[in-house]
A and B are shown apart, each in its own frame.
Chain A
Amino acid sequence: MANKILVFIEQRNGLIKKPSFEAAKVAADLAVKLSVTAEAVTVGNEIEGLEKVGSYGVTKVTHFKNSDLTNYSPSAYAELITKFVNENGFDILFFGTTSMGKDLAPRVSAKLDTGLAIDCIALNTNSSDIIATRPIFAGKALVDVKITSPKKVFALRPNVFNPGVPSDAKADLTVVNVDTPNLNVRVTEIKRAEGKLDVAEADIIVSGGRGMKGPEHFHLVEELSQVLGAATGASRAVVDAGWRPHGEQVGQTGKTVSPTLYVALGISGAIQHLAGMRSSKYIVAVNKDKDAPIFQIADYGIVGDLFEVAPAMIEEIKKIKS
């Protein structure tokens, strides 16, 4: 079926992002299954520990290097990867469904004229096909799809595929210096939200909804986030009301998340919110309305006043962490 598999390794600031290790592991496992080889490709300037992709089973990594490529450039990255794919005959490509992956994978896919399955949460192979499962309607439904073009591009949802325990193996690194990258579209600056974890990347999320009764009470959500090492999230209602920034919104018109633990404070659980967080491994809900839909999917619930319960949670967690 396939000849060669390629996984894109995403770096930001010279550091490899975790979803790339997850994708590397999936690529390597698939290569074993199909008796083919899996390689990795990355674009950037100085990148730390590229050989480490070897510990997830990928034996070779090619690094396209130029000082203008430290930051993401959609035009340059897409061009370099496409050329590399064409010159080396790769026919299955993996990306992470990150903000870079979502931008880059379709560009490469269009250049190669391939089908693209984005945000995959499962991959299964039978004798002739790779079947990808992906959520639609923010997770209210799932589709199984197969790509019928000769080359295929898959982007994997972060935090879903287990990268396993890394071995000591190191990948062979080839550095290719790029003379004049195509910088038609280029990132000139990155503005970090100071010291804040993003809900899209967090392992634990504490979200607040309308039950918080006003922006002045969100310090409770933030404090609980802090003691848990969690990101702070919000429901659409409170973002629309201007209590919280849009970057924190979880749900069908915000971010779809699947953390290990999701704590919902004063969130009743509108359909569009549940769609965005229902695949969390564990859900805790605190709400004074026992009929709130959030309790239908929560693993643990407290039907009570969050203004009493949340401070008690903060204290209790502080106690066990000290």
Chain B
Amino acid sequence: MKIAVCVSHVPDTAAKINIGSDGISIDPSGVTYVVNPYDEFAIEEALKSKEKFGGETVAISLGGDANKETLRKALAMGIDNAVLLKDSGYRDSLSVSKALAEEIKAQGAELVFFGKQSVDFDNSVVGQLTAELLGYNCISVAVSFVLDGNKIICEREIEGGKEVVETNLPAVITAQKGLNEPRYASLKGIMAAKKKEIIEKIPAAATNYVEVLTMKKPASKQAGKIIGTDASAVPELIRLLREEAKVI
């Protein structure tokens, strides 16, 4: 079975985000980029699936040359092949999904993993969009994954619990934290990944339907009052919450 995993290259969650001079993108200076945290769970599940069912794994990423770093990380963890869909311009979620769907089709992958969302634009929709474009079944925000023959059973996180979802291959699964424990790349894996070729392709252009007009920082919150330094401040705190904030 051919298994694909789609990965994105994003600013580290510890990064401060500043707006770039164009007013519609972030200022990348001083920002460290990493594998999207949720994609690590997707990579791990792809590797586990290959170990269990055999086949071949491929990591796909859309973006500029910098994304190769994230693809190398996937290779170092044990993914067999990597494809960079080279396009560093702005694409909305659907336009990204169209490029990914095209490549997944070309690869003939029947099982596809994504992280449940990229921690940059936080859309959490690319997996579902790609599945629809491919005509694949899709389970999003999975915290467990079982494949038995053609049948898939996942648990997905919902408000106040989980729901058990069933479907069949071909399918797209988007990974939530808790799905597995991503492995560390071995030294051998890291060395091997350095030698592997990352295949570069130019994806077809697609029209963006979502236009970014402005990017801005949220209004900064004023630091409030320090009420005290021990338990004696508690009655005043509770009074403020009741009478000033009126929240309890």
- Which residues in B have some Cβ–Cβ distance to A below 8 Å? 11, 13-17, 19, 24, 26, 37-38, 92-94, 97, 119-125, 128-129, 131-133, 137-141, 155-168, 176-178, 208-218, 221, 223-231, 233-235, 237-238, 240-242, 245, 247-248
Contacts and interface: CB of A to CB of B under 8 A. Distances in A.
Contacts of A140: 16-17, 217-218
A36 interface: no
Contacts of B165: 74, 185-188
A103 B128 contact: yes
A257 to B, nearest CB: 12
Interface of A: 71-72, 74-75, 78, 98-100, 102-103, 105-107, 109-111, 113-119, 131, 135-149, 184-193, 196-198, 200-201, 204, 228, 246-247, 249, 251-254, 256, 260-261, 270-272, 275, 278-279, 281-284, 290, 295-305, 308-309, 311-313, 316-317, 320
Nearest to B174: A103
B14 A191 contact: no
Contacts, number: 268
B16 to A, nearest CB: 7
Given A109-B94, A116-B93, A146-B211, 16 more contacts: A72-B163, A99-B141, A99-B159, A103-B128, A116-B94, A116-B129, A116-B209, A140-B17, A145-B210, A146-B213, A188-B166, A200-B159, A252-B119, A295-B226, A313-B237, A320-B238
Nearest to B38: A253
Contacts of B24: 143
Contacts of B13: 138, 251-253, 271-272, 275
Contact of B212 (A137, A145, A204, A299): A145
15 contacts: A99-B141, A102-B141, A106-B128, A115-B209, A115-B210, A140-B17, A140-B217, A141-B19, A146-B213, A185-B165, A190-B162, A260-B247, A296-B223, A301-B225, A313-B234
Contact of A304 (B209, B214, B228): B228
A135 to B, nearest CB: 7
A147 B210 contact: yes
Contacts of B178: 246
A300 B225 contact: yes
Contacts of B226: 290, 295, 301-303
B122 A137 contact: yes
